[in-house]
Chains A and B, each alone.
Chain A
Amino acid sequence: MRLLVEIVLGCVLLFCCLSIRWPTGRAEPPREGMGLVKFNLEESSNSPSSSARWTKIDDKSYRLLIRETAGGREIAAATLSWLEEGKIFTSEQGDLLIYQSSQIWSRDRSRWRAWMVRDGWAVESATWKKGLSDGFWELIWKKMSQDGNSRQEREWRNRDLERVHGP
């Protein structure tokens, strides 16, 4: 009697485990994942004018200059220091895309916009393209497989790193 109860209990548990496991489970965890997070850091009190520009100081730091368009007077400046190795891409509008390891940060002239992680991939190049209403980043991703072969992928993302349709 007791053995029967244990067998029934075991079968119920086995069924529970199998239903949790399948069909969603994976024996091998995905090594390529993607997350998208928006950060709304503090807005600049001075609304940036169209002449805001990132200027490169050295490999690891950029300086943002915001000029008043009417008087041509500099009203604010910020320096962004990049403490680790990474790539920085800039747009003429003052947008900035920072790539490091498998992470991307995006910020415009006044605030951080988004942060994205794409495991297993590396940004090869990023170019800001003008669109009808605004613009978007054209990203060339590169993935190195263990056997030494590489794969490239092109995609378009806006300032918030949301995927958009390209031109």
Chain B
Amino acid sequence: MKLKRQEDLNWGRFGAMLALTIAATPIWWMQSGAREFLLSGAAELCWPGFDSCAEWRFVSLRQIDFVLISMGAGAIFSSICLWLRPASRLSFWSLAVVFVAKLLLSALDYRLRGNHHQMANLVTLIFLILPRSAGVPIFALLIPSFYFAAGLLKLNTEWLSGAALANRLPLSGWLLEFGLIGVVLMELIGIWWLLDRRRSPWRFWVVIVVLVVFHLVSIKSVGFFYPVVMAALVSCFLWQHLDWPWPKNEAKEAFPRFFKSPFQFCRSIWVAMSWQFKLAWLISLIFLGIQFIPASISPRNDLSGEGRLIASSMVHNRTECRGFMVGRWGVHEAKIPMPVMQLPIRIWCDPLVFYNYARLVCRQKSPDRLDWYLLSRNSSEEAYQLIIRAEDFCRDSRRFPWFGSLPWRAE
């Protein structure tokens, strides 16, 4: 009974951390300029499928402030409730309400996206809809999987050469490069030591220290919010001793069969697993699998953004791009300058940004014909590549897709 109460308390503490990430969200959004771009009349940047997002803007700054402050205050209230009374209905519903409010606000503008939000949202959703018995093994696998997926995506020249982070960190030269390789090693191998707190405490604490240093250093490059989210998620391993979700005894007995027949070994382990463990593996493998979708759509998804709407965008590439738009009115033709927007680094060359602007030009300037092109490159590359060739765009009925390749993708 006492153990169950302690487990409830630990579960509530983790929920309180999740609520705190929601409390920090309005501050992060305000830093990103949300107060200005959520205002009616500001140039909108709609998510695909929600082209009318401009109609859902706030009419005054006071209204925006009220909503954001209410969300933050509600999240702090929820956090306190979860910490003190984890099993109460009020704790659950207060978190559910602020979580839904965050999702609704995020839907208003594409600039409010971010892979840190995706990770926090996924974990919060699981926390809300599944019982603790299922949530604990899921988080044990899923949270290290976030790092593991990020590590896989870092196996490229852009990251390993330091080009992605040049001039943003206090390190440089070979020290920086070995540091970056160290991050990859930590994310692919070391991160699983989070599951070793009982078996090998030194491994667990080493990886915790490395994570703390990594996230503290990353603040200079990515801002405060990402480290706050990851600290909240990793705190799951501090409140409780999490272990690999598989049946230990069966695995030990079946292990000699592993080399003879790996398939049989996996099958016997799978059969012996509880539904909670199976769900944990399924969710984590699906999450990891989704990260490969962009690469299957286009080898240059890092520039085209194809598939990134559903996968996380975890590589901090420094993309450079040039947009080029020509409008024609009768015999008159003019180059239309691209807008200057405050954009997060991961979306500043996203074709969706230019798509939204082209739609705005079609609506406001009504050209007879509008052509636009987008050239992009990673900062470590020499040549720009033509990514988008959208001709006679205003008459084009095709819309920006959530899945699959872009219809205006230049070959």
Interface flag for A134 (CB, 8 Å): no
Contacts of A26 in B (CB 8 A): 161, 163, 380
The distance in angstroms between the C-alpha atoms of A25 and B379, with both chains bound, is: 12
Contacts of A84 in B (CB 8 A): 337
Task: From B45-53, B137-145, B182-190, give the one contacting chain A.
Answer: B182-190
Contacts of B369 in A (CB 8 A): 42
The distance in angstroms between the C-alpha atoms of A35 and B163, with both chains bound, is: 19
Which single residue of chain B is at the shortest CB-CB distance from A103? B322
Give which listed residue, A27, A37, A82, contacts B386 with CB less than 8 A: A37
User: Which A residues, 21 to 55, have Cβ-Cβ distances below 8 Å to chain B?
Assistant: 21, 24-30, 33-37, 39, 41-42
Interface flag for A1 (CB, 8 Å): no
Which single residue of chain B is at the shortest CB-CB distance from A6? B189
Interface flag for B286 (CB, 8 Å): no
Q: How many residues of A contact B (CB 8 A)?
A: 39
Contacts of A20 in B (CB 8 A): 155-157, 160
The answer to whether A10 touches B185, judged by C-beta atoms less than 8 angstroms apart, is: yes
Contacts of A24 in B (CB 8 A): 157
User: Which A residues, 74 to 133, have Cβ-Cβ distances below 8 Å to chain B?
Assistant: 76-84, 103, 105, 112, 115, 117
Contacts of A4 in B (CB 8 A): none
Shortest C-beta distance, A91 to chain B (Å), equals: 19
The answer to whether A78 and B331 touch (CB under 8 A), given A20-B157, A21-B157, A29-B318, is yes
The answer to whether A41 touches B177, judged by C-beta atoms less than 8 angstroms apart, is: no
Give which listed residue, A9, A27, A78, contacts B177 with CB less than 8 A: A27
The answer to whether B166 touches A34, judged by C-beta atoms less than 8 angstroms apart, is: no
Contacts of A115 in B (CB 8 A): 322, 324, 373, 375
Interface string of B51-93 (1 = CB under 8 A from A): 0000000000000000000000000000000000000000000
Interface flag for A16 (CB, 8 Å): yes
Shortest C-beta distance, A10 to chain B (Å), equals: 6
Shortest C-beta distance, A81 to chain B (Å), equals: 5
The answer to whether A17 touches B166, judged by C-beta atoms less than 8 angstroms apart, is: no
Interface of A is mostly: mixed
The distance in angstroms between the C-alpha atoms of A120 and B371, with both chains bound, is: 27
Contacts of A6 in B (CB 8 A): 189
Interface flag for B332 (CB, 8 Å): yes
The answer to whether B384 touches A35, judged by C-beta atoms less than 8 angstroms apart, is: yes
The answer to whether B185 touches A13, judged by C-beta atoms less than 8 angstroms apart, is: yes
Give which listed residue, B157, B334, B373, contacts A80 with CB less than 8 A: B334
Interface flag for B383 (CB, 8 Å): yes
Give which listed residue, A14, A21, A78, A103, contacts B161 with CB less than 8 A: A21
Contacts of A27 in B (CB 8 A): 161-163, 166, 172-174, 176-177
A-B contact pairs, 30 of them (CB 8 A): A6-B189, A9-B189, A10-B185, A20-B160, A21-B161, A21-B177, A25-B161, A25-B163, A27-B161, A27-B162, A27-B172, A27-B174, A28-B162, A28-B163, A30-B382, A33-B377, A33-B382, A35-B377, A35-B384, A37-B384, A39-B324, A41-B371, A78-B332, A80-B334, A80-B335, A83-B335, A83-B337, A115-B322, A115-B373, A117-B384
Knowing that A27-B163, A33-B377, A37-B373 touch, tell me 20 more A-B residue pairs with CB under 8 angstroms. A10-B185, A10-B189, A13-B184, A20-B157, A21-B160, A21-B161, A27-B162, A27-B173, A27-B176, A28-B162, A37-B384, A39-B373, A41-B326, A42-B369, A76-B331, A79-B332, A80-B333, A80-B335, A103-B322, A117-B375
